[in-house]
Amino acid sequence: MTDQISVSSSRLEPLIAQARSANVDVLELLSSLDLSPSLLTLTPNERVSLADYYRLQNRLSILFGDETLHLSTRQLLPGSTDFVLQHVHDCKNLFEVMRVIARSYNLLHGGQYNSVVKRRSSVDYVIDDKDFPYSNDQSKEYIFFSIECILVFWHCMLMIVSPLATNAVKNIQVRRPTPGGDCAHLGYWEAPIKFGADAYRISIDPEVAFNPIVIPPAESLSSNAVYQKITSAISQRGGGGKAIKSASSLVRDALSRGVVEQTDVSAQMNISVATLRRRLSEEGTNFRELRREVLNDTAQRLLLSGRAVADVSDALGFSEFRAFNRAFRDWNGLTPKAFLRELGGRISD
């Protein structure tokens, strides 16, 4: 069943190349995601679960500090999707949620690329990317694939807001001219797909779009929760992958995005704190150990990239600057400023 919702191993090549150019230890990265190093030696004809592709994409977006993964010339800082989702708290239905998402991403991207169109038979979310500021080195095929993956991401954003969205998609339109080539990832959709459209479009059943919903608590609405929903949805549709098997990997993703309290992480995973502790123990680790490892690695990387100490403290979810200073000193025996002086880095307040 994996081939039904999968990608060619060649789809990984741009991500791996970006990782290496950013001096990311790719073998260590795969290990932290519980992915086999054999992914680096697969032939182009071999397949990779779409769920595992998203897991790699998620972690790299954190490491690169860009949620577009360099697809756009306009960087989206980590936390951009969290920012969008935190603005849906007053929405009464999915139609309002769709409009908030469109407006928020237009603000972040600096253009009117997203819109919501209300029709008699559907409510459509439209992405018109004709004038989008893509990076110059992107091929048409890579752009087609990337936006099709964004449509899946968008649908899962809706699903974490309300389960009503799960089976609400009536049809999809994509700009890819024909269904030829490597399109197995489109097996995610259980709806008709029209190729060669002038814009990307997801059509939602209007009865579902205007049905009243109850917005989940804020801690359940995050980029990390969206990626968990993606991998869960793909697995349920027969797409395989290891995404939902490793609790430590999910914890690392949450910690890397600034979710630092065990109660908040367990809430995003939809399990109790006790269950999270048990699963981590079975994997030979614990939350405190993972928290120290991930936060320290992230803090060092951000400091060395030139980020101000106060910004790093905020990015890692510390309630105050002094708490971050104390934690960093406990981890490394040096304050952040002393750490930078020792390595000859630039110090920013």
- The residue assigned the tokens 């098997």 is 245
Q: Is residue 125 classed as helix, strand or coil in its secondary structure? A: strand
pLDDT value for 251: 87
Residue 153, CA distances (Å) to 22, 112, 237, 305, 317 in order: 25, 19, 15, 28, 24
pLDDT value for 1: 33
The 8-class DSSP code of residue 72 comes to B
Tokens of 338: 């002393």
Q: Note the Cα 277 to chain centre separation in Å.
A: 24
50-67, pLDDT tens digit by residue? Answer: 988 998 998 888 888 889
pLDDT value for 267: 81
- As a whole number of angstroms, the distance between CA 250 and CA 236 comes to 18
148-179, pLDDT tens digit by residue? Answer: 999 999 999 999 999 999 999 999 999 999 98
**Helix segments in 237-320, DSSP class H:** 247-256, 262-268, 273-282, 287-304, 309-315
266-322, pLDDT tens digit by residue? Answer: 887 778 999 999 999 999 999 999 999 888 988 888 888 788 888 888 877 787 888
Q: What's the pLDDT band for 213 if we cut at 50, 70, 90? A: very high
Angle, alpha carbons 283-32-84 (nearest 5°) = 105
What is the CB neighbour count within 10 angstroms for residue 319? Answer: 10
pLDDT value for 301: 80
Number of H helices and number of E strands within the chain? 15, 7
**Helix segments in 41-139, DSSP class H:** 50-64, 80-85, 94-109
pLDDT value for 277: 94
More confident residue, 220 or 127: 127
- Which of 120-129, 218-227, 276-285 is modeled with the greatest confidence? 120-129
pLDDT value for 23: 81
pLDDT value for 345: 52
Listed in sequence order, the residues at least 6 apart from 13 whose beta carbon sits closer than 8 Å to its beta carbon are: none
Q: Is residue 16 predicted with pLDDT exceeding 60? A: yes
Q: Which of 127, 137, 118 has the alpha carbon at shortest distance from 69?
A: 137
Residue 265, CA distances (Å) to 102, 117, 221, 228, 253 in order: 27, 36, 12, 12, 10
What is the CB neighbour count within 10 angstroms for residue 21? Answer: 10
Ordered domains of the chain (ranges, CATH):
2-209 (no CATH), 246-349 (1.10.10.60)
Q: Is residue 348 predicted with pLDDT exceeding 80? A: no
Tokens of 111: 């253009």
- As a whole number, the mean pLDDT across the chain is 88
User: CB-based burial of residue 258 (10 Å sphere; 0-12 exposed, 13-18 middle, 19+ buried)?
Assistant: buried
pLDDT value for 240: 52
- As a whole number of angstroms, the distance between CA 222 and CA 88 comes to 11
- As a whole number of angstroms, the distance between CA 182 and CA 186 comes to 9
Can you state the angle between helices 13-21 and 50-64, rounded to 10 degrees?
20
Residue type, 284: G
Q: Is residue 81 predicted with pLDDT exceeding 90? A: yes
H or E, element range at 23 = none
228-279, pLDDT tens digit by residue? Answer: 889 888 887 765 544 445 788 888 888 877 777 898 888 877 789 999 999 9
pLDDT value for 346: 53
pLDDT value for 349: 52
